[in-house]
Amino acid sequence: MKKNFVVFMSPGTFVAEMTQKEIDFWDVSKAVEMSKNIKERYGSIPYGFYFITRERGENDFDSKETKRSSMYYLGGKILTLEELKSRNDPKDKTLISNMECNNWDKVIINDNSWRWTQPLKHDDKVLELS
């Protein structure tokens, strides 16, 4: 047995809220449409999503994740470490420190509902939404 899912990520109090929904295949357009119906606590809506495939063999008790996509962000602003430093904003001090300590060269800031800042990985995609 093999099934595909889309996992929606929304801002949470301390960690991201996650909602997983079954999907026929890894269809970005359909996932974007599905995201419009996701609402988490305190009115939080998704900042992004990723796909997973789960499989279970005939003798397996439970399924296991066999494939995962990169992250698809539902819009957002990409900032580099250099850009943050050049803004010279004291509010960026902790973010800059985290980026330097963790060797992150870029972050994405998404304000779909509550502000959410994440490191942007090289294979992540930022979707332009209208």
Beta partners for residue 109, in sequence order: 77, 117
pLDDT tens track for 71-124: 999 999 999 999 999 999 999 999 999 999 999 999 999 999 899 999 999 999
Cα 53 to Cα 105: distance, rounded to the nearest angstrom: 29
Cβ atoms of residues 31 and 20 within 8 Å: no
HSE, side-chain direction, 13 A CA sphere, residue 68: 9
Does position 130 have pLDDT exceeding 80, yes or no? no
pLDDT of residue 85: 96
In what order do the strands lie in the sheet containing 77-80? 77-80, 106-110, 116-119
| pTM for the predicted model, two decimal places | 0.91
Banded pLDDT at 57 (limits 50, 70, 90):
confident
Tokens (6 digits) for 27:
């269809």
pLDDT of residue 71: 98
Cα 124 to Cα 95: distance, rounded to the nearest angstrom: 20
Phi-psi region at 2: left, alpha or beta (left = phi > 0; alpha = psi -120 to 50): beta
